[in-house]
Amino acid sequence: MTTIVLVRKNNNLVVASDGQVSMGNTVIKSTANKVRKIEKRNVIAGFAGSTADALTLFERLEAKLEKHAGNLTRASVELAKDWRTDKYLRRLEALMAVGDKEKSFIISGTGDVLEPEGDVIGIGSGGNYALAAAKVLMETENSAEEIARKAIQVASEICVFTNNNINVQKI
């Protein structure tokens, strides 16, 4: 797994991830990028789970955004429907945290499109640690990027499947 945190503060959206890729109990890579930006649509997505599955889902999300004129809500719901009902996609194991300037969602393979309360999302093996840290840090004067970076740092000190090579995308 991995750790992804999405933070929305002061009209800024930041998605950050750690860089660790593990196979079982072995670290395979420590500098992976698990956060991607869809420049044309001003959307950022972070992935937890299988890398190949995540990249497939990212491509599908991008196609849904194109089809629905950048409407993140509609694209997310359509992706979740396909993910749950398509014989091939149903086997993909990943979670996505996606956001644009207005909305943030967690999308899962069980058909869930969740819009969590508050301005923070955490997914992956260290997601709950990062989520807790970010929620506390939201009450400070720190920027969205500073909060996201510190939240991943905290998770990396607790979760063995999370490291402190932090990747950040922002809009």
Residues, the chain: 171
Measured distance CA(11)–CA(18) in Å, rounded? 23
Catalytic residue status for 2: yes
- The catalytically annotated residue of 2, 26, 56, 110 is 2
> Tokens 């720190």 label which residue?
142
**Shortest CA distance to 47 belongs to which of 80, 1, 14?**
1
Distances (CA, A) of 23 to 10, 51, 107: 38, 11, 23
Helices (H), the chain: 51-67, 72-85, 127-137, 144-158
> How far is 15 from 35, CA to CA, in rounded Å?
7
Which residues belong to the active site? 2
